[in-house]
Chains A and B, each alone.
Chain A
């Protein structure tokens, strides 16, 4: 079988970016949660907030460390596997990625040290400031990277001259038509991720009857967050979808599994899209519902995949199912947010074992939702790398062979498998240690080693302590 460097590069990019994405999506939300805890501690002086903050800072340190390590790889992927794309877009992409480093990465790196190790070295107000700066840094970082991605989805402000894009308007290029929606959708996703992980872990501690009052407070905050954010995300997600319909109709057609442009299109609950036959099998549908959702008219016209040639369609099966996974996770979140409210009104959200067990499982749901969402938007853009302008095939590194791409794909999988299992194994130990261990006075020598993300965490790699 001939190895195709294009397909292998796409798999490789999907793999390294998915692996990387799960860390920042969590740390962006968690950084804000920690800043809130520090602010509550600063304002009320109640020791509960500091106890919580100490524990969640440990978790943050480990996840942030994994994000940094996997992020280094990302900054070289464009050059190694997509050099034509990198070269063509360098006038835009280069400054944007550089700005991300100087406005966000350095801010995070510097203030993270103070956040992790400076509690006894700086006044409490300064420590709070460091927490806010780390949270700000994570948002600045997502601003730049989502701006770059939005340009690939809805290009604007650029002009092609001699094979290179030139920026004619920085404002147009940075704030393209899909940017505001993507940023809002992603920011909410990050907050939801933090809320659900905090809820799940707190629920687990409460089930074990550990540090009940402290964890109950964390659970309460997380559930309030969930109650506001989950329905809001459905609303923002809908707006984002309508924006996509306007600018990238084929992506929406693939999401809906709609092969023919027509009126009164049904919403498919289940189907097996068959790209070769340009049709679906085993459809389970709600009549006219897709038309209503997308056009707010029961008989509205919904674009179908037949508007472009089959080779210009995105891979429908992947987009169709990734979209359903994302929506299912989102609806589950809404369900839990309402369930939480009902239990709270009855005054026993921390007593219902089935609810708490459910929350434990739900702590994984935001990661599935985020990865599925990115699969929808990235795969749904295919065959375009820059929508309507440059295809994946045009962007790939011309000198790349299938063998080279396969070699590094296997390499990254092996490296990440090793690093990831060590990281997750260690994170689980931090969770097992819980609030108690995070607040135990630890050996002096660990304090001495400043500015090491993982050394903020006190668990040892093997054994029970």
Chain B
């Protein structure tokens, strides 16, 4: 079929944007769970959970849309990543289920509260690690033949994906801590101020390891970054600049800037990753065009998006407006 315009490219943009939105939004609330065991007392944990309670399940609806959207626009990604990451996907879903119900039951619980604390912390950490491992597996590439995954159950689990998994755990924890700085006050905020620089350091160490290691995993990446100077070098430089802003704004005890700059750090790292792998969507064999669904299917859904998403955003904004105002930081006893 003759294509009047490049829908696949548009969809790649939509999916890339959606993934980034999901990472930023679910990142800070998964971060609360990762930091949960380190909180000094139940009061801190109450505040942490409250700070994300109104938004986390909306965020997970975006994850469901991500799954369905990938199937619609890039079915090869769906049909290779999920079988290849079979065990990891299960851990991710189990983690999300446990932390999701922990949100609901912890506030209702009295004697069993510690159990739900563990469910929330464990579920969040496992889910974050699994997502990081997915990123690592994407960089590594997949063993495919004839548009099918042909590798083993645990091919994805390598020292490299363990590092990327831990990297994302640290990254989400940093997002969570800087979010908490913005949304809390008093002892909780001070605790988060103390925590954030250490987390930033961990994130930078892991990112550095990944950046050095990635070119060895993938010759394409090496070629792209080290064969002469290229404009993409601006991305890691901007990421480093953001890290510097995080650090300096934490020292000045600013409230909003650490979170904003951490999002910037994530954004530029992510763009750098995309620049490394472009145009491969299922590396090392398939580009986004190989992975795409039929033109008419992409068009059918895009039309719906254009009409429906503005309506969705409108009524979502309206409900946020209905519940405007500060969320109380108090306990629920």
Contacts and interface: CB of A to CB of B under 8 A. Distances in A.
A110 B79 contact: no
A399 B101 contact: no
A454 interface: yes
A399 B68 contact: no
B72 A95 contact: yes
Interface in B52-99: 53-55, 57-58, 60-61, 63-65, 67-73, 75-76, 78-84, 86-87, 89-90, 93-94, 96-98
Interface string A41-67: 000000000000000000000000100
A407 B93 CA distance: 14
B207 interface: no
B105 A454 contact: yes
A87 B69 CA distance: 13
A109 B61 contact: yes
Q: Is chain A's binding surface mostly helix, strand, loop or mixed? A: helix
Given A101-B64, A121-B323, A399-B148, A445 B108 contact: no
A461 B105 contact: yes
A117 B316 CA distance: 15
A83 B71 contact: no
B300 A95 contact: yes
Interface string A389-430: 000000001111101100110011001000100110010000
A99 interface: yes
Interface residue range, chain B: 35 or more
A94 B301 CA distance: 9
Nearest to B72: A94
Interface stretch (B35-43, B109-117, B249-257): B109-117
A449 B90 CA distance: 30
A92 B297 contact: yes
A76 interface: yes
Interface stretch (B170-178, B190-198, B262-270, B324-332): B324-332
Contact of A449 (B50, B76, B304): B50
Interface stretch (A26-34, A162-170, A237-245): A162-170
A87 B144 CA distance: 14
B216 to A, nearest CB: 26
Given A98-B72, A121-B323, A72 B93 contact: yes
A90 B323 contact: no
A74 to B, nearest CB: 9
Contacts of B60: 68, 72
A93 B71 contact: yes
Contact of B75 (A72, A94, A102): A94
A83 B297 contact: no
Interface in B144-168: 147-153
A26 B139 CA distance: 43
Contact of B83 (A65, A92, A103, A397): A397
Q: Which of B75, B81, B147 has the most CB of A within 10 A?
A: B75
A103 B308 contact: yes
Contacts of A446: 332
Nearest to A419: B101
A68 B57 contact: yes
B217 to A, nearest CB: 21
B323 A113 contact: yes
A399 B150 contact: yes
Nearest to B77: A79
Q: Which of B71, B96, B319 has the most CB of A within 10 A?
A: B71
Contact of A448 (B294, B300, B309, B327): B327
A102 B96 contact: no
Interface in B277-299: 293-294, 296-297
Contacts of B309: 102
A361 B107 CA distance: 32
B86 A90 contact: no
B149 to A, nearest CB: 5
Nearest to B63: A72
B312 interface: yes
B323 A91 contact: no
Nearest to A61: B104
A452 B86 CA distance: 31
A135 to B, nearest CB: 15
Q: Which of A91, A93, A109 has the most CB of B within 10 A?
A: A91
A69 B97 contact: yes
Contacts of B229: none
A445 B322 contact: no
A107 interface: yes
A310 to B, nearest CB: 30
Contacts of A292: none
A91 B64 CA distance: 18
Nearest to A444: B328
A75 B330 CA distance: 36
Contacts of A412: 90, 94
Contacts of A118: 322-323
A121 B68 CA distance: 34
B103 interface: yes
Contacts of A86: 71, 75, 78-79
Nearest to B78: A79
B215 interface: no
A91 B104 contact: no
Interface string A84-125: 101100111111011111110111011101100110011000
Contact of B97 (A99, A170, A408, A419): A419
A352 interface: no
B78 to A, nearest CB: 5
Given A68-B100, A399-B84, 14 more contacts: A79-B67, A83-B82, A94-B70, A94-B78, A100-B68, A101-B68, A102-B304, A110-B315, A411-B90, A412-B90, A448-B327, A451-B57, A453-B104, A454-B108
26 contacts: A72-B60, A76-B82, A79-B78, A79-B81, A83-B148, A84-B148, A87-B76, A91-B293, A91-B296, A93-B72, A95-B301, A95-B304, A101-B61, A107-B315, A118-B323, A167-B294, A167-B300, A397-B86, A399-B149, A404-B87, A408-B86, A419-B101, A426-B108, A445-B332, A450-B323, A462-B112
Nearest 10 pairs between A and B by C-beta? A94-B72, A79-B82, A90-B75, A454-B104, A87-B79, A94-B71, A461-B108, A97-B68, A450-B323, A91-B297
